[in-house]
Chain A
Amino acid sequence: MRETRGAIFATALVLAMAAGCGGSRDTAKAPAEETAGAPEGAVWKPAGDEGTVTGKVSFKGTAPKYRAISMDADTVCAAKHKSPVHPETVVVNGNGSLRNVFVYVKSGLEGKNFAVPDQPVELDQEGCIYKPHVLGMQARQNIKVVTSDDTTHNIHPLPKVNREWNVSQPPGADPIIRSFTRPEATIPVKCNQHPWMRAYIHVVSHPFYAVTGEDGTFKLEGLPPGDYEIEAVHEEYGASTQKVSLAAKGTASADFSFSPTQARRPSSLITLPALVLGCCGDR
């Protein structure tokens, strides 16, 4: 009788432990996170009366000077560059405009659900530099991380709202395919192997965004007519907002200006789409 009781107790203990071990925190939360940023209702479709918002981001003041990156930290990195490489934190173009500014529709699209593109955005690592330096993408769109270097990289995004991940990628490795399920501004991406490597990913809930390039201009095409707030976000100088009214098949402009002396204002990208999509909660 005593042996029978012991066997029953032991079996119950094993079953209880198995149940406890099976329900890890991450595993339990994964399904909820997968659907947290998913839009509800019909997917928005163009009506044919869409317009375009264009603009330019200018820079006033003296751009900071950076020391050259000591690429000898990894001889593979150094071999890929014939001239000194400088940080891309503040890059002022020849025409006085500011490069690598993320511009997107901050408000005016509430209640609309946008299809997630099938094609992934791509982040390359070439010469131990992330290319592009600033990247926009939609929530739940895939990001494909590739490497063109013969050295091991370590891709480590540091989101505050989405799930953090940290994956090594040796030379010749398959691309890393991931996604961010929730809108989030300015996710820094670092390489644990090469400390100077930095990229910034901006995750939004719609396809209306752009990143300024060598001429400092941007163009947001295919926007439905309406009143919008357009926000420009820079990794060093923060965010700046403009209001525009877009008529049917019309165009509107929104120019921005950043200066080293202005107070840094953080982007509101984290909170606004949270209201739209009902996401982000208390994380």
Chain B
Amino acid sequence: MAFSLGVFFWLMAIITVAIFLGRVWWMPELASVHGAAIDQQLILTLAIAGIAFFLAQLGLGYLIWRYRGRGEGRADYWHENPKMEVGWTVATAVVFLGLAIQGNRIWTQYVLAAPPADALTVEVTGQQFAWNVRYAGPDGRFGRTDPRLIRDADANFLGLDPKDPAGNDDIMTQNIMAVPVNRPVRVLLKTKDVTHSFFVPQFRVKQDAVPGLAITTHFTATKTGEYEIACAELCGMQHYKMRGRLLVMTDAEYQAWLKQRASL
């Protein structure tokens, strides 16, 4: 019985590690510049935790088998070894602190660093249950918006003020966002109702959109293709349908796309 239980723990440890090493359920393919550092940090964390987990399960299985009951009376109760307890507590603290320092460095490099000056600015505004995407147009300026002018039925989802000439060339879409590949993109994130979360798994981008705030996040896409913009914050009954498409194009394709959109 003890041998079977020991084998169970060994097998569980081996299968679990094999699943990770074989990348059976792995992250979606990386498609952004900053995501590489995030992935490395995640893999490092998984590797350290995985080694500790594997060794602990092997040891547990061995001890279950080694000290199984043999009908020789009650087992001895042994307690306290301050040296060992201090040893593994300090070792664990060092490892966790090291991971936290390293992770914090990567996080601040991504979140706190300003996007490059030549970054393309795209305004993304969440609403139940769609993503509104706005481009400034040829003049490079976003038109003024006013919540009192919001009229969904008139396709004025953002309350764009028609009296502001800067808004005449603004390009607005819903649930579709296009960006050029290899160019930094600055996303100005807003919401017009409840909290949403702008999530592009392949870009390792996830940022909450909070009512009343304009929050900036940024990324540089490295691969052309179509990606999903998910909402990662439960925002209401149709939250599951709040999905946008993010198209990463060559610069020429992107310019053509903008031109086509402007003509509508």
Residue of A nearest to B160 (CB): A67
**Given A154-B238, A193-B238, A193-B241: A67 and B129 within 8 A (CB)?**
no
Q: Tell me the number of A-to-B contacts counted with CB atoms below 8 Å.
A: 62
Q: Annotate B241-264 by CB proximity to A: 1 below 8 A, 0 otherwise.
A: 100110000000000000000001
Main DSSP-derived SS at the B contact region: mixed
**Chain B CB within 8 A of A196 CB:** yes
The answer to whether B152 touches A198, judged by C-beta atoms less than 8 angstroms apart, is: yes
Which of these binds chain A: B115-123, B173-181, B205-213, B215-223? B173-181
Q: Annotate B147-168 by CB proximity to A: 1 below 8 A, 0 otherwise.
A: 0000111111100000000000
**Chain B CB within 8 A of A89 CB:** yes
The answer to whether A66 touches B155, judged by C-beta atoms less than 8 angstroms apart, is: yes
The listed residue (B157, B173, B241, B245) touching A152 by CB distance below 8 A is B241
Chain A positions within 8 Å of B174 at CB level? 70, 72-73, 195
Give bound CA distance, A198 to B173, whole Å: 18
The listed residue (B155, B241, B245) touching A72 by CB distance below 8 A is B245
Residue of A nearest to B127 (CB): A195
The answer to whether B154 touches A195, judged by C-beta atoms less than 8 angstroms apart, is: no
The answer to whether B173 touches A72, judged by C-beta atoms less than 8 angstroms apart, is: yes
The answer to whether A87 touches B154, judged by C-beta atoms less than 8 angstroms apart, is: yes
**Given A192-B129, A192-B237, A193-B241: A70 and B172 within 8 A (CB)?**
yes
Residues of A44-61 at the interface with B, using a CB-CB cut-off of 8 Å, are: none
Give bound CA distance, A137 to B244, whole Å: 37
Please, how many residues of chain A have a CB less than 8 angstroms from a CB on the other chain?
A: 22
Give bound CA distance, A89 to B151, whole Å: 10
Chain B positions within 8 Å of A110 at CB level? none
Residue of A nearest to B261 (CB): A70
**Chain B CB within 8 A of A68 CB:** yes
Min C-beta distance of B227 to chain A, whole Å: 15
**Given A67-B264, A193-B238, A195-B130: A73 and B156 within 8 A (CB)?**
no
Chain B positions within 8 Å of A188 at CB level? 153
Residues of A61-107 at the interface with B, using a CB-CB cut-off of 8 Å, are: 64, 66-70, 72-74, 84, 86-87, 89
The answer to whether A67 touches B152, judged by C-beta atoms less than 8 angstroms apart, is: no
The answer to whether B153 touches A67, judged by C-beta atoms less than 8 angstroms apart, is: no
Give bound CA distance, A72 to B151, whole Å: 19
**Chain B CB within 8 A of A190 CB:** yes
Chain A positions within 8 Å of B155 at CB level? 66-70, 86-87, 196
**Given A67-B264, A74-B175, A193-B238: A89 and B152 within 8 A (CB)?**
no
Chain B positions within 8 Å of A154 at CB level? 237-238
Which of the four size classes fits the interface of chain B?
20 to 34
**Given A72-B174, A193-B238: A89 and B153 within 8 A (CB)?**
yes
Residues of A224-259 at the interface with B, using a CB-CB cut-off of 8 Å, are: none
The answer to whether A72 touches B176, judged by C-beta atoms less than 8 angstroms apart, is: yes
Chain A positions within 8 Å of B157 at CB level? 195-196
Chain A positions within 8 Å of B32 at CB level? none
Q: Annotate A183-227 by CB proximity to B: 1 below 8 A, 0 otherwise.
A: 000001010110110100000000000000000000000000000
Give bound CA distance, A70 to B245, whole Å: 13
Give bound CA distance, A74 to B236, whole Å: 18
The answer to whether B129 touches A68, judged by C-beta atoms less than 8 angstroms apart, is: no
**Chain A CB within 8 A of B45 CB:** no
Min C-beta distance of A134 to chain B, whole Å: 12
The listed residue (B176, B236, B238) touching A70 by CB distance below 8 A is B176
The answer to whether A192 touches B128, judged by C-beta atoms less than 8 angstroms apart, is: yes
Across chains A and B, which 5 residue pairs bring their CB atoms closest together, nearest first? A198-B153, A73-B175, A73-B174, A68-B264, A70-B174
Can you name 24 A-B residue pairings with CB atoms under 8 Å? A68-B155, A69-B155, A70-B155, A70-B172, A70-B174, A70-B175, A70-B176, A72-B174, A73-B130, A73-B244, A74-B175, A87-B155, A154-B237, A188-B153, A192-B128, A192-B236, A193-B129, A195-B130, A195-B157, A195-B174, A196-B152, A196-B153, A196-B155, A198-B152
B residues bordering A, Cβ < 8 Å? 127-130, 151-157, 172-176, 236-238, 241, 244-245, 264
A residues bordering B, Cβ < 8 Å? 64, 66-70, 72-74, 84, 86-87, 89, 152, 154, 188, 190, 192-193, 195-196, 198
New contact pairs (11) apart from A190-B153, A192-B128, A196-B153, CB-CB < 8 Å:
A66-B154, A67-B172, A68-B155, A69-B155, A70-B172, A70-B176, A72-B173, A84-B264, A86-B155, A89-B151, A196-B152
